[in-house]
Amino acid sequence: MAVEIRIPSAGESVTEVIVSEWMKKEGDYVEEDDFICELESDKASMELPAPISGIITKILKPAGEPCEIGEVIATMEEAEAPADEKPQEQPKQEAPRAEAPKQEAPAASKSDNGSAGVAMPSAQRILAQKGIDAADVKGNGKDGRILKEDAEAATPAKYTEAARDSSAPQGPRSVEKVRMSPMRKTIARRLVESKQGTAQLTTFNEIDMSAVMELRNRYKDSFEKKYGIKLGFMSFFAKAAIDALKEFPQVNAEITDDGHLVYHNYYDIGVAIGGGKGLVVPVIRNAELLSFAQTELAIADFAKRAQANDIELEELEGGTFTISNGGVYGSMMSTPILNPPQSGILGLHNIVERPVAINGEVKIRPIMYVALTYDHRVIDGRESVTFLRRIKDCIEDPSRMLLEI
């Protein structure tokens, strides 16, 4: 009896997904729970497992086609594994019947770390066209799989060699038109809505990082030994932001469509992280209840899973305030964009030694520029400036956060 493979629910408010890759083809035998295709929504991507062990009899939706939740995209027939796919301890005997269609071979054999070096079907085609070995390409997919984007960004060795030779003729100047992914479309739409639907303004300040860096250097070894994770700067800024949000609750508020202000008496801090398929902002729930170690562990876990596109949809929803650290990429200063319906976002930047005047003398200190973008409909200039000043005071003298002064 035919078994229908349907698009499962992909989270609240998600009504449509795209079949980004078929990992199996018609006629392939698959075991129950083997992944047969990858689905991509405007919020995240996921892999669809086979509901039974059997043969894929029909694929109804090709890769790249949009599908509605609940729509049938393929059918399967329950069957036993072909003889050539069953594990045999004795040398395999010649089968009396025709051999079942074999699964499409990956572009490169699996390495010791699982799927690393294995190219998805669309990536295989692009790499083959470019003449690139999959073993030479770093994959950003789950378990190191090589995605279509990785293959598109890969550079053939002949072009690299030509670039080193100044006398070599100019390479090809082709143009490729690529469909935007649902996630990238959503990011673009939300950024435009954020700019058009709020009264955004940004205020800046600078922070002397000497005290935090000295404290971090003093305890980093014992901290890592006890908690199994390095002591970073994000936990300090998360704690400082919560301290400032308690003093200025309107920065932790949001404005509703009917003109009301909603003040949150909890602190769900979103942390902007560059994922495998774009920027994501997972949320640390009730961050005010977490220790420094718990905060660092939560951020590290999000960062790891974001690279593997393994963030759950519910982890991206909500949030009352956001912190974005462009400093990890070398940014000196920027104006972060609000993440509606939030009213504030804190932008961090790289730390650079700069000359500053201290007690009438010029000193070299590690300085970070920070930026607060806020919704002027909710927050006045005085509150925004003093909010950022409170964060500066907490970071330059961390004992303030302990003593709550």
What CA–CA distance (Å, rounded) separates 277 from 147? 10
Q: Are residues 72 and 44 in the same domain?
A: yes
Report whether pLDDT(208) > 90: yes
Q: Are residues 140 and 267 in the same domain?
A: no
How many other CB atoms are found less than 10 A from the CB of residue 158? 12
CB 158 within 8 A of CB 335: no
- Evaluate whether residue 177 is within a structural domain: no
* Closest by CA position to 241, among listed 106, 344, 143: 344
CB 78 within 8 A of CB 1: yes
pTM equals: 0.61
The CATH number of the domain where 350 resides is what?
3.30.559.10
Q: Are residues 338 and 395 in the same domain?
A: yes
* Closest by CA position to 275, among listed 123, 140, 105: 140
- Total tally of structural domains belonging to the chain: 3
Domain boundary among 33, 58, 86: 86
The CATH number of the domain where 139 resides is what?
4.10.320.10
- Evaluate whether residue 184 is within a structural domain: no
CA distances from 306 to 37, 188, 281, 291, 337 (A): 20, 19, 9, 22, 20
Report residue 394's pLDDT band, with 50, 70 and 90 as the boundaries: very high
Q: Where are the beta strands (DSSP E) in 109-257?
A: 200-208, 253-255
Q: Are residues 272 and 318 in the same domain?
A: yes
What CA–CA distance (Å, rounded) separates 208 from 63? 52
Report whether pLDDT(92) > 70: no
Task: Specify the higher pLDDT residue, 141 or 256.
Answer: 256
Report residue 366's pLDDT band, with 50, 70 and 90 as the boundaries: very high
- Residue from 84, 143, 221, 376 carrying the catalytic annotation: 376
Instruction: Mean pLDDT check: name the lowest of 176-185, 213-222, 301-310.
Output: 176-185
How many other CB atoms are found less than 10 A from the CB of residue 96? 6
Q: Are residues 295 and 370 in the same domain?
A: yes
- Evaluate whether residue 215 is within a structural domain: yes
Q: Are residues 205 and 342 in the same domain?
A: yes
Q: Are residues 61 and 124 in the same domain?
A: no
Over residues 105-144, the pLDDT tens digits come to: 444 444 344 455 677 777 787 888 877 888 778 787 767 7
What CA–CA distance (Å, rounded) separates 107 from 127? 8
Note the pLDDT of residue 161. 58
- Evaluate whether residue 167 is within a structural domain: no
- Evaluate whether residue 150 is within a structural domain: yes
Note the pLDDT of residue 109. 40
The answer to whether residue 143 is catalytic is no
The answer to whether residue 376 is catalytic is yes
Question: What is the pLDDT of the chain when averaged over all its residues?
Answer: 84
Q: Environment class of residue 320 by beta-carbon count within 10 Å: exposed (0-12), middle (13-18) or buried (19+)? A: buried
CB 50 within 8 A of CB 76: yes
Report residue 91's pLDDT band, with 50, 70 and 90 as the boundaries: very low
Question: Can you name the residues that pair with 200 across neighbouring β-strands?
Answer: 375
The CATH number of the domain where 33 resides is what?
2.40.50.100
Q: Are residues 390 and 253 in the same domain?
A: yes
Q: Are residues 270 and 397 in the same domain?
A: yes
- Evaluate whether residue 183 is within a structural domain: no
Note the pLDDT of residue 84. 67
Note the pLDDT of residue 158. 55
Q: Are residues 125 and 231 in the same domain?
A: no
How many other CB atoms are found less than 10 A from the CB of residue 388? 23
- Residue from 208, 380, 393, 397 carrying the catalytic annotation: 380
Report whether pLDDT(341) > 60: yes
Over residues 159-185, the pLDDT tens digits come to: 555 555 555 567 777 888 888 777 778
- Which secondary structure element, helix H or strand E, spans residue 367, and what is its range? strand 361-375
Q: Are residues 267 and 129 in the same domain?
A: no
Domain boundary among 52, 86, 120: 86
Residue 12 CB contacts under 8 Å (≥ 6 apart), including other chains: 313, 314, 317
Note the pLDDT of residue 165. 59
- Evaluate whether residue 174 is within a structural domain: no
* Closest by CA position to 60, among listed 5, 132, 1, 110: 5
Domain boundaries, position 120? 105-161
Over residues 57-82, the pLDDT tens digits come to: 999 988 888 888 889 999 999 888 88
- Evaluate whether residue 180 is within a structural domain: no
Q: Are residues 131 and 56 in the same domain?
A: no
